[in-house]
Each structure stands twice: as structure tokens, then as C-alpha cells.
Amino acid sequence: MEILRELKALFGPRLLTKEAELAPYESDALTAYRERPLAVVLPERKEEVVEAVRICRRHGVPFVARGSGTSLSGGSLPVRGGVVIALNRLNRILKLDPKARLAVVEPGVVNLEVSRRAAPFGLYYAPDPSSQPVSTIGGNVAFNSGGAHCLRYGMTANHVLGLEVVTPEGEVVRLGGEGLEGVGPDLHGFFVGTEGLLGIALEITLRLLPRPEAYHTLLAAYPSLEAAGEAVARVLRSGLLPGAIEIMDRLAIEAAEAAVRAGYPKAEALLIVELEGEREEVAEGARRLAEVIAESGAEEVRIARDEAERQAIWKGRKAAFSAVGRLSPDYIVQDGVVPRTRLAEALREIGRLSEAYGLRVANVFHAGDGNLHPLVLYDGKRPGELERAEALAGEILRLCLRLGGSITGEHGVGMEKRAYLAEMFSPLEIAAMEEVKAGLDPLGLANRGKVFPPKEEAHA
Ligand SMILES: Cc1cc2nc3c(=O)[nH]c(=O)nc-3n(C[C@H](O)[C@H](O)[C@H](O)COP(=O)(O)OP(=O)(O)OC[C@H]3O[C@@H](n4cnc5c(N)ncnc54)[C@H](O)[C@@H]3O)c2cc1C
């Protein structure tokens, strides 16, 4: 095949085509979906990425950029007969400028590595997805990833200053720059969150923040999930703007305990609230928070006395997703948003749906911004259980829409949610998005089949 000959000439042994070599790339963290690509290429320089895209374009072959493959929506699933451009070897931090508080990184740099390298300068990279020890900045940019601390600091989009991108047509463009104040339209902002549909990020300029002077981390146990949800509304009504507000329910607590022994109290629900900033501001906030939590019906309240106790609280929360694997052979991680004033209502309804479908649902989520992550537990070996779990997960998304929210907060649409796009947007809105895609990618090569529902589904 001509395309394979050209890729071989460029990549040599870094072109993978054998069945055993391709197997690790067949799916991402949404393992229910699987697809065999034609080939995987492992570029080590951005020029090779550009050349790979140009070769694909000449042959009309679709391609998928891949970071660490932790997408939970099938975003980095290969396209059948297409090429996977795996970016993990592009993992250099090209520039770290403490004075300008920015870093220029290659797309395969792992999220946590940016903060690790910025730490000696008292700086860090704020967006903190739970996958941050593994997921890449390129993947984070594509999905506009968030994390526990995005409540105060915003998502990835708020921390990207500029991008170098290869478009699906093989052109290299620079979007944005190094400053917070750009001139003209916010094109780099436009690129963030487009799920690899408009090209591949080759270099990313990131904003770094000074490390907060102080933290105050509170853990409160509640007799019900709704009570914890109500407490979130109280905290936000009080005028406090914590760094993070997270909730875990009983199943998630049990899983986290079994996995990392975080030392959590036994409870129906746990609320984690973290204040951060200058020492005085945090001390004042802590007094206010204590009053609010005292009035919220918490059964037990703990305050982290030192950094080790703070880390223990976060370790349990950050491990909760993967820890749920201990409770069930299979699970679907759902990602939807509700207005935070309607959290308690949403949680009640999820409990009712869980009973109606006869499937357990564990909840662990970014409560401060209403971003729910119900984990639907099922056993794929039992006939019909996957279908039931998918139907329940779908009902939860519809619930989010009914309450005025969104079908995704941070995991993207990918493959998993493309059928729901038409429930959130009108045909006119979807057509406008498709026109943008077609304008920049007339052959539909970049991440073909993702995000937009296939025509027969869209008009069903
Ligand atoms: C245990 C666990 C916890 C998670 N927690 C969170 C969380 O708290 N918050 C959150 O937001 N997400 C979370 N995720 C989801 C996932 O980690 C994020 O979506 C992450 O950004 C994906 O990064 P990745 O490097 O694995 O990208 P991949 O999965 O490889 O790719 C993701 C998407 O990005 C595209 N892409 C990759 N690189 C580029 C590039 N250079 N240019 C253009 N497109 C590109 C791919 O084509 C694909 O569409 C979690 C996942 C797991 C498994």
C-alpha cells in the first residue's frame, strides 16, 4: 500500500502495523469501544507529525491524534483503516519562563510534569484532572479538561495562551501568543475543546500560577448525598470561592478506602472543601466556612492539620474513579452537568434511576461547578447488562438536560455521546458546527466519526 510505504520511509521502525503492535492502541479508557487502525506512527519531532498529516491527506486516509489514551468518551479510538498519530514521545518542555510565568510544551508532556518542573520557581499549572499523572497536555487541550481545582481557576482553556497547530490540510498555524491580552479573535480559545477535529496541537504555551501561600482543607461527613449537595449550595451562597468542592458517595468512599486507605469516616456522603490563597484570606475564609458547615447538618468534620493530611484526603478522591473497579468488573463513567442549585434534586433522581434499573451507581464529582460523574456499575458478562447500563447512563444525561445542564462537563462527546448531541443542540446549531469542521477539514480526515452523529442517527 502506497501510504504505508511513505510512512515507512519517514518513520522506519516507528511505524507499527503488526497485529500485536496495534493491539494497545485499539481502544482508550472507554474500553467498550474497540477498533483496529491501519497503522500507528510514533513521531519524535513536530515536523514528523506535520509530515504524517500531509501523507494522510494526500491519500485521503483519516487520522487520530493520541496522547495517553485516557479519554473516557472514545475520543482517541482509532478510525477503521486510519492512522493513529501517537504523541507520547513529543514530551519535552521547550521553555519555562518564571518571570513571564509561562511554559511552552510539546503535546505529549504529561500534565503533572509541568507543575513538577515549575515547582522550584514557586509556580504550578492549575488544571488538575484526576488523570494528571498520566494524561497529556495535548489531550487536555483537545477536551478542555478540568479538575477539582477548576472551580476557582477555570478549565484548560483559561490556561492556554497560545498554540501551534497542524491543520487537517497540513498547514502549520500559530494561534494566540504568550500574553493574556491577545489582538483579534480568540482563535486558540476556539481550538481548545474541539476534540482533535480541527487538527493536531504541536506546541502549547501554558500560563503558570504562583503556588497558593496557604490551604485549608475540610472533610465533612453527611447522612445523605442530598444533604451534601445542599451543603454545596450553602457554601457558595455564603460568598466563599473555594479552590475545590468535591463530593463522594458511600460506594465511592468504600472503593477509595479499599484502594488507598485514605482514612475517610464511614458516611453516606463526604464533602471536601478546600480554600486556598494568601494566608490571611484563607484564615478568614476558614472561620466563615466553619460556620456554614456547622449549620449544614454534617455528622463529622475534619480539618487537615498538615500537608500530609491534606494529601491523604486528596489521594482518596483522586483514586476514586479507578478504585471503583474493585467494586464491579465493569463500569461506565458518566459526565454531565447540572446547575449547582439543582444538585440535590439531580442526586435524588439518580438514586431513583439506579433502583429502577437495578444497577448500582457510585457518585464522585466536582460539586462546586455541578459537574456530575455517576459511575454506573455492571457486569459485562451478564447478558443484557451492558445495554441496561448504557440506557441508565443515557437517562442520567437526559436528566442533566432537563435540569438545564449539559451532556458533558469535561470528558467530551467523542464516540460515546454523539447520539446525544442532537438532544442538546438544534439541527441549525449542529449544521453550523459541521460547516466549521468542513471548512477546515474538507476531506473529514481529523478524528473522523467523532462528536457529530452519523447522518442516519442525526435525522432519526
Ligand atoms: C481515571 C481517570 C480519571 C480522569 N479524570 C478526569 C478529570 O478529572 N477531568 C477531566 O477533564 N478528564 C478526566 N479524565 C479523562 C481524560 O484523562 C482526559 O480527557 C485527558 O485530557 C485525556 O488526555 P490523554 O492524553 O489521555 O488524551 P487521549 O485520550 O489520548 O486523547 C483525547 C482526545 O484528544 C485528542 N488529542 C490528543 N492529543 C492531541 C493533540 N496534540 N492535538 C489535538 N488533539 C489531540 C485525541 O484525538 C482525542 O480526541 C479521566 C480519565 C481517567 C481514565
φ, ψ at 273 (rounded to 5°): -125, 130
Q: How far is the CA of 219 from the centre of ligand 1 (A)?
A: 28
Reduced to 3 states, what is the DSSP secondary structure of residue 327?
Answer: coil
How far, in whole angstroms, is CA 368 from its chain's centroid? 16
Alpha-carbon span 348 to 351, nearest angstrom: 5
Residue environment code for 230-251, b if the CB has 16+ CB neighbours within 10 A, otherwise e? bbbbebbeeebebbbbbbbbbb
Phi, psi of 442 (to 5 degrees): -60, -30
C-alpha cell at 172: 502549520
Paired strand residues for 97: 102
C-alpha cell at 416: 460515546
Tell me, what amino acid is at 224?
Answer: S
Cell of 166: 497542524
Ligand 1 atom nearest 64 alpha carbon: 47
The alpha carbon of 143 and the centre of ligand 1 are apart by a number of angstroms equal to 6
Q: Which residues contact residue 15 at a Cβ distance below 8 angstroms, ignoring those fewer than 6 apart?
A: 4, 7, 8, 39, 40, 41, 42
Ligand 1: which atom is nearest the Cα of residue 107?
Answer: 41
Give the pLDDT confidence score for residue 460 in this predicted structure: 42
CB 53 within 8 A of CB 113: no
Give the model's pLDDT for residue 459: 43
Mutate to test the pocket of ligand 1, among 26, 83, 113, 131 (most ligand atoms within 8 A of CB): 131
**pTM (2 d.p.):** 0.94
pLDDT for 180 equals 80
Across the beta sheet with 15-16, the strand order is 15-16, 39-41, 83-86, 63-66
C-alpha grid cell, residue 37? 487502525
Q: Where are the alpha helices (DSSP H) in 248-375?
A: 250-260, 279-294, 307-323, 343-357
235-to-26, 229, 313, 317 alpha-carbon distances in Å: 44, 10, 19, 20
Q: Strands (DSSP E) along 167-199, which ranges?
A: 172-176
Ligand 1, residues at Cβ distance < 6 Å? 28-29, 64-72, 75-76, 87, 107, 129-131, 135-136, 138-140, 142-143, 145-147, 195-196, 200-201, 321-322, 410-411, 447
pLDDT digits (tens, 9 = 90+) for 163-212: 999 999 999 999 999 988 778 889 999 999 999 999 999 999 999 999 99
Residue 383 main-chain phi, psi, to 5 deg: -55, 130
Polymer length of the chain: 460
The whole-angstrom separation of Cα 2 and Cα 39 is: 13
Q: What backbone phi and psi angles, to 5 degrees, belong to 309?
A: -70, -35
Q: Which of 26, 48, 70, 191 to mutate to test the pocket of ligand 1 (most atoms within 8 A of CB)?
A: 70
Predicted confidence (pLDDT) per residue in 316-357, tens digit? 998 888 888 888 999 999 999 999 888 889 999 999 999 999
CA–CA separation, 88 and 101 (whole Å)? 25
Distance 333 CA to ligand 1 centre (A): 14
* Residues in the chain where the model's pLDDT stays below 50: 458-460
Residue 456: per-residue pLDDT:
61
Question: Across the strands, what pairs with 15?
Answer: 41
145 grid coordinates? 479538561
